[in-house]
Amino acid sequence: MSAPLVSVSYASTAADLFDDAALADLLAQSRASNHDHDLTGMLLYRRGRFFQVLEGPEEAVDELMTKIACDPRHTDVRVLLTENLEERRFSEWTMGFEPIGVPAGPAPEGFRDTFDDLAADNEEAGIRAVRELTVWFRARTAHDA
């Protein structure tokens, strides 16, 4: 019998801004480590902020979250949602990644930026952001395939 699967979605702030090379290094390291520990998931990055979904055996996810919380590259690590899974949602990605563009001008009146909801001090907004960004990522990567 295989270990129960869990998913943890979190947001954090980068201690220093990541350029393309630093992101590439982070992704290479994460993908290799995740492969070795039977973890899958997705990562989004914009303007010094990370959003990540990790899924896999509970013990492996917990160990990685402990490392992330102590990683000097991250500050303000906030777990937004922890879920038990019947099956993986990101089974094809040891670490799927999508950079998020920065809007060129001011947002239209009434526009809500889902990525900004990750920083809200509101559990409901954080969970809504997790759901919306996860769907966006899956739809975008399916379209690109």
pLDDT score for 68: 92
pLDDT higher than threshold 90 for residue 108 = no
What's the pLDDT tens digit per position in 111-131?
667 777 777 777 888 888 888
The DSSP code sequence of 92-138 is T-SSEEEE-PPPSSPPPTT---HHHHTTSS-HHHHHHHHHHHHHHHH
Q: In the CATH scheme, what architecture does the domain 5-101+111-144 have?
A: 2-Layer Sandwich (3.30)
pLDDT per residue as tens digits for the range 59-100: 999 999 999 999 998 899 999 999 999 999 888 877 666 566
Give the pLDDT score at 138.
Answer: 77
Q: What pLDDT does 57 receive?
A: 95
| Domain extent listing, the chain | 5-101+111-144
**Vertex 142 angle, CA 139 and 145, to 5°:** 150
Contact predicate 114/133, CB 8 Å: yes
Question: Cα-atom radius of gyration of the chain, to the nearest Å?
Answer: 15
